[in-house]
Structure 1
Amino acid sequence: MPNDLAHRIIRKTVEQMPRAFYSETRVVGSENVSKDGPCIVAATHHNMILDPAILSWTMPHRRILHYWSKATLFKNPIVGKILLDTYNIPVDRKSKDRQKLLGGTIKALYQGAPVALFPEGTSYTEPRIMQVKDGAAWAALEYTKQSRESGKGDPVTIVPVAIVYTNKAKYRSQCIVEFCKPIHMDEFIEQYTSGGEREARAAAKRLTARIERRLIDSTVNAPDWDTLYTARMARDLLWADERSVPLEEFVAITQTLIDLFSTAGVTPTFNSIKRKLLAYYSLLEESHLSNSALSTLPLPDTLDPRRTVTVPSRLRTLAVLIGQTLAVAARLPFFALPLIIHLPAYYVARRGGKMVEHEEETQAQNQVVFGLMLTFLIYSILAIIVWASLSYTALGALVGLGLIYGIAWYHNSLIDDTLDSARRLLATWRVLVGVWAPKDWDLSLTSLAQYTIPKVPAESPWVDRNRLRARTPPGTPRLSSPDSGSDTPTPDTAPKRLRKKGQKRLPSRRLIRHVLRARAEAAKALAGLFAQLEGTPNLRVRASRHLAMKYGGTVDEFEEENKFLSPESTVSGTKGPGYPVEDAELEAFIHEELEEPRGWRSAREVASFLRKRGAKIASLKEDVSGGWAAALSSENETEGAATGGEESDAVSEDVVWVPSGGDN
């Protein structure tokens, strides 16, 4: 099979993966990729097989990417033939022979081909970019060296690519692919070719640090899970419709909120605000609900958190359920046929995701692979049935193909609105069951405490954490002690709940009243935060360096990297002039000197930035909860939570956050 044909068949197949799973894929920075000439595409890798599928699909000018693949995969003659025909390059990552390791890559670059690799080395789920390895830097520098010595080949550039997902494991979420500005070799090659191995290593480390910095600037990075979850919850409250967040600025918006919640002690009630947002986030996750679904439900006025109520009106919540059911039923006749056809695929895809529930980076892959395989099988059977009914004629084949194309198009055009309606109906049903259920079914406040702590994924065994223990990743806010107000990195000592395989969730009916109260408190706390930010002149908040520079902030003074990294430099604490002898020492030194300085933005500018991009920042004078109640298990508890004053804070601090097993 000719190379181009094999590649086009496989690429056309894998392109269906992101199209089927994500509702939209936004491409930014296509102009940074040239139409021809050698380049190395270094992309983030947080979503298994979906990452290369999206990268191949969105590659500007439809250029054919040559991917790095493990050399062991080529040992099987059939698999090896397929991989070679689809432009994969065998790479023996255990080899210490640089020529052997990079031979296939350099050959492809001489031919003017784009080479794609994932410098993080593995797919993982973490709150930030954890590692960027040196492979792309070594390949680019070695090719440039050989090209200059031989006088052949065009100059190569490295194009960092950030693949960001609004929620990578959620069906019909969205994706952003940003092709960053290319990195040229001119400022690195002189040091690389200066003759010494230490200088070559230092040049490669410098180039890797530059790649890492570009990737961090274009992705979402938080110092810890709590800060990331807090920022997500704040974003969901500010943009009640999750699809209303402008995709082209999704990263900047989310990173701005992360930076804000990384500013320890920015307001007197900062810790309390963060805890309330985390509690609401955790309870939503535990109850299978989303703020987007809850915010669309027209609940009665008696659920206003400023009024004292014991339970919402059962008849009114029943009326809401009936209304939502009718809304879904009205759509059902139009969606019935594609629903029946695709229902087996939905079920199998869901089961595939459940198989790896503890591995977020694998969930979307399983759902897509399992779902698409069954969908293709169903489509094939339908096409054959139509073809057979028309006596296996050429016209019958065309009609069969046209039918399945029409069904696929019709399904995709209706799925998003139908899915949103179904989620609202499910949320209404769960609220109704929780409201109507006996109060004895409610989870006690003592037992509730553990469910107000968000679950975090288990640490990936493939991530090297030794480097992270010694430094904070460039461009990410440092983890600070919540009480000290200091920017000194400190260990994350907050309690954690790990996601465990096969762990059963708590029935949502036992959490609904707590979810409603947590939503009211979180909305009120967020409104209070912005009131303090906008009402305090000259208040500054932490900012990633690139955001501070872009939006009129300030950056702490720092020394230029080349001052420390020129071949003539003397490294303090090492044996004589030059660079450290050991790779570990060298890497630690490079990253220490390249660490991003702290940036700062005006608190008022941050609030204005968010407002201009559609954030609905409520004031405390408004019904910031959107009409939802703080409905608890007893009249006394409700009264405290509903008043909206000092007593409400006391409930949140002394009851909701009591350690598991303590007194309430």
Structure 2
Amino acid sequence: MIYRALTWLLTLIARAFFRQVEVVGLENVPTDGPVIFAGNHPNSLLDPVLIINTCGRRVSFAAKNTLFKSRLLKLVLDGLGAVPLARRDDNPGAAKLDNDAAFTAMYTRLGEGGAIGIFPEGLSHDASQLAALKTGAARLALGARARIGEPVKIIPCGLTFIHPARFRSRVLVQYGPAIEVSEAWAEKQTADEKAAVKELTGAIERGMRALTVNAPDWETVRALDAVRRLYQPLDIEIEDRVELARRFNAHYGDVKEDPRVVEVMGRVRDYQEDLDVLGVTDREIARGLDGNAVARKLAAYLSLFLFWVPLAIPGLPIHAPAILFAKFAGRHLTPRKDVIATTKVLTGFLVVYTSYVVVAAILAWRFGWLSALLAFVILPISGYASLQVYDRFKLVKRGSGALVRRLRFQHELEHLRERRDGLTGDIIRTVNALKPKDLVLLFPRDDDAKSDATPAEAIPG
């Protein structure tokens, strides 16, 4: 009962913070039996929230024991069935970490056919690639297999945040093919346990890398993301976008010294710098920035904005300050980049729901309980409307900027469009020439292809 109530609440929070949560690979998740979810850890407490909300299983996560020192967090973690785990990073002076009780609890839950969640990287981080994996997930799977005498399945998970710290952004949650720890792994464990743990950890890492974007640094990620945008067709799904980014980053190291790649990457960087100078995006250039089309779409967004405003007004004194304070907290009260989103979520949630309770209490005191109950109905509806207003305001602002730039920089934008077409063709030719022979292209393109965009809607939808 408590678990269901908390997961329902976490679902509401996730839907409020993220504009889109796309889930891929649910067919890989068993509906029953012992399962270990092993995911990357780029966004602190939001990572387990997303897996809990999307995997379709009741999951107990292993969590660092320092989180249980907070009374509020301990209440939530206990309600979610989290297992406190001591980590070397939190106990640098300890000769030996005592996690026997934690592993016993996780073995028990797996033995009951339950699911355990674990982040093999250990710490949440904002690096551009996976950190070295700890061996805990492999040891847990092998130990559980030995104790319960039946196969344990490990499901690699990939969390890709389009803008990790941004309110109303998008996230892709992927579940990869299961790694089944069965009799064959038990035999390897019997022969050489250390080698078996190392091999299984490697298998988990390969599964996670297949679902995540990994690059040596963020500059490379940004440059290759520009290449990806120039190469891809318009309006592809988020999972295809992430898969293209993963492929470009995975294969770039093998070809980065090739003169053709060096030349194209230099031109892409110059093109991106010119976009930044004018304050335009590649998407706007690709779509042609047709003035009439921009004006039509801007009018549509403005009408939707005006539709939602009256519904948002009743809760505006609560929701507007909550959003602003959450942004302030994320920017100024956060020690690390990877916890900015978590800080925003916790701050916004506490401010909004505390305000709801205070308003309801005042109304109950002044006008009776019926008024308080009515407030608990109206305020959440107004909160939803506020999210719609926020989203449409950003689109109206973006569209207004696009229209102004279309009028102000007409000749520069036309020149950038020509450069983009040339770059797109050269990138396609380079990809076709240098791709691994056994790689099946996600979007096969002819060598003479140019941008397939038409001068239509320049505002991202």
Scaled by the length of structure 2, the TM-score of the pair is 0.80
Deviation at 1:285, TM superposition (A): 6.2
Deviation at 1:45, TM superposition (A): 0.8
1:334 corresponding residue in structure 2: 307
Within the alignment, does 1:93 sit opposite 2:93 as a pair? no
1:650 corresponding residue in structure 2: none
Say if 1:297 and 1:428, in contact at 8 Å, map to a contact too.
no
Deviation at 1:388, TM superposition (A): 6.3
Say if 1:345 and 1:371, in contact at 8 Å, map to a contact too.
yes
Deviations 1:392-439 (Å, cap 9, x if unpaired)?
244x3443222123223434455544422222224556788x86xxxx
Q: For 1:46, what is the secondary structure of its paired residue? A: coil
Which stretch shows the higher mean deviation, 289-298 or 219-228?
Answer: 289-298
Structure 2: which 5+ runs fail to align?
A: 89-95
1:212 corresponding residue in structure 2: 205
2:187 corresponding residue in structure 1: 190
Q: Percent identity?
A: 23
Say if 1:22 and 1:175, in contact at 8 Å, map to a contact too.
yes
Q: For 1:193, what is the secondary structure of its paired residue? A: helix
Q: Return closer, same or farther for 1:412/1:74 CA change in 2, 3 Å cut-off.
A: closer
Q: Return closer, same or farther for 1:190/1:212 CA change in 2, 3 Å cut-off.
A: same
Output the amino acid matched with 1:618.
S
2:16 corresponding residue in structure 1: 20
Q: Return closer, same or farther for 1:526/1:358 CA change in 2, 3 Å cut-off.
A: farther
Output the amino acid matched with 1:541.
K
1:529 corresponding residue in structure 2: 426
> 2: CA distance between counterparts of 1:275 and 1:518?
18
Within the alignment, does 1:66 sit opposite 2:67 as a pair? no
> 2: CA distance between counterparts of 1:282 and 1:266?
22
Within the alignment, does 1:270 sit opposite 2:261 as a pair? yes
Q: Return closer, same or farther for 1:183/1:75 CA change in 2, 3 Å cut-off.
A: same
Output the amino acid matched with 1:333.
L
Say if 2:23 and 2:173, in contact at 8 Å, map to a contact too.
yes
> 1: CA distance between counterparts of 2:414 and 2:344?
34
Within the alignment, does 1:376 sit opposite 2:353 as a pair? yes
Structure 1: which 5+ runs fail to align?
A: 149-153, 301-318, 436-511, 543-552, 555-599, 628-664
Aligned runs of 1:70-469 on 2, under 5 Å? 70-74=64-68, 80=74, 83-94=77-88, 95-96=96-97, 99-100=100-101, 102-148=103-149, 154-186=150-182, 187-194=184-191, 199-237=192-230, 244-258=235-249, 261-262=252-253, 264=255, 269-281=260-272, 290-292=281-283, 298=289, 330-337=303-310, 338=312, 340-341=316-317, 342-355=319-332, 359-380=336-357, 383=360, 391-394=367-370, 396-413=371-388, 415-426=390-401
> 2: CA distance between counterparts of 1:429 and 1:379?
40
Say if 1:321 and 1:429, in contact at 8 Å, map to a contact too.
no
Deviation at 1:609, TM superposition (A): 6.3
Alignment equivalent of 2:444, drawn from 608, 633, 636: 608
> 2: CA distance between counterparts of 1:264 and 1:169?
32
Report the aligned-residue RMSD: 4.1
Deviations 1:177-231 (Å, cap 9, x if unpaired)?
122222112232112123xxxx211100100000000111122223443442223
More helix by share: 2
Count of aligned pairs between the two proteins: 444
Deviation at 1:135, TM superposition (A): 0.4
Output the amino acid matched with 1:192.
Q
Scaled by the length of structure 1, the TM-score of the pair is 0.58
Say if 2:65 and 2:86, in contact at 8 Å, map to a contact too.
yes
> 2: CA distance between counterparts of 1:123 and 1:10?
22
> 2: CA distance between counterparts of 1:77 and 1:408?
28
Q: For 1:608, what is the secondary structure of its paired residue? A: coil
> 2: CA distance between counterparts of 1:289 and 1:349?
28
